[in-house]
Structure 1
């Protein structure tokens, strides 16, 4: 049974690989082309346990869920653009199509506002990266409005440039070039 520790290590590694990655600030990152269901699951309001008093009495479980749920939920998506441009690639459009499908789902019916944050890596000046990240976020916003008929007042675009790197240990890494999706509020 010498192989048992190796087998356990392989099973653990396979399970860890199936989990979404997370940025330094703990926001889950969905890489590649996630499905609308995966995005909806990642952005859905978490289930809150009911407030329990002593002796197992449950006090207003609806209020407990409303208090325990965070006001904002976020994920990082790998929305790809052409080099040095705000023009979406086919893969980038596919990811936004999944996001559009997720936003139309019943799991995200509570979403009142969507903010698309454009992020860059650390290559280039602050001014250049701020401008490029804003243009990319605006491009993603416009795509969602036109293709998925999301109300313009429901979705905002913000450029963060290189100010909030997902992986500060690798400032030029691809993980930093992303669109963060932040959802909040009631419809």
Structure 2
């Protein structure tokens, strides 16, 4: 009897740990559409608080210690605002990806109708949570990247086009339903070129929309 109780207790602990891991943004799995909340998105995209200067050595983001790099990033972001998704060159897409690596971001498992850019009904709550989050005072006014990704099924050209159309669909919904300025949303498609789980190229986690906060509202130029 005690062994059975022990196993049940262990199972309960494992279950709680699994739930906790699923809610962590640092895990490999993207946040499921039916799980994400406005508060989670705001926390994931909010810029980290700046630490006060101390006499000792401390690790700070590279852009904070390199004003020239910060200025260059800002100029680049300004050049891609108001651009259409398909107008971005391969070089520009890669530069966006490079800059975005060190920026606050979140992956959302937003699904679409088969072979289309129409947002599925089950994913609408996630897109609506995203819209509310981006109009939150803590985020409003920043420039955001909305990046579409696919899994490895199909050819490169097909997936590239599909990822671009789906990113555009998210932007259109956010501007139409939440009044977010189109210049604050930069859409980019990566097709199947940047799989989240390369070891499992057909996994659902690869079919995602990544949102990146490229510039804090305090420094974003309007």
Q: Under TM normalisation by the shorter chain, which class is it?
A: 0.7 to 0.9
Counterpart residue number, 1:67: 64
Structure 1 ranges of 4+ moved more than 4 A: 1-10
Q: Residue 41 of structure 1 is aligned with which of 40, 43, 51?
A: 43
For residues 37-83 of structure 1, what are the alpha-carbon distances to aligned partners after superposition, in whole Å with 9 as ceiling and x for unaligned? 111112122234433326xxxxxxxx99x939x96211100111001
Bigger proportion of residues as strand: 1
- More divergent stretch after superposition (82-91 vs 44-53): 44-53
Contact 1:40 1:103 in 2 (8 A): yes
Instruction: Verify: 1:170 aligned to 2:200, yes or no.
Output: yes
Equivalent-residue separation in structure 2 for 1:5 and 1:52 (angstroms): 50
Using the TM superposition, give the Cα deviation of residue 95 of structure 1 relative to its aligned residue in structure 2, in angstroms.
Answer: 1.0
Bigger proportion of residues as helix: 2
Contact 2:29 2:205 in 1 (8 A): no
**Structure 2: 5+ residue runs without aligned partners?**
66-100, 218-222
TM-score for the superposition, normalised by structure 1: 0.79
Q: Residue 92 of structure 1 is aligned with which of 123, 129, 132?
A: 123
Structure 1 residues 5 and 73: CA distance shift in structure 2, 3 A:
same
Report the 3-state secondary structure (helix = DSSP H, G, I; strand = E; otherwise coil) of the residue aligned with 1:42: helix
Equivalent-residue separation in structure 1 for 2:7 and 2:51 (angstroms): 36
Structure 1 residues 172 and 30: CA distance shift in structure 2, 3 A:
same
Higher relative contact order (CA 8 A, sep 6+): 2
Instruction: Verify: 1:135 aligned to 2:132, yes or no.
Output: no
Report the 3-state secondary structure (helix = DSSP H, G, I; strand = E; otherwise coil) of the residue aligned with 1:47: coil
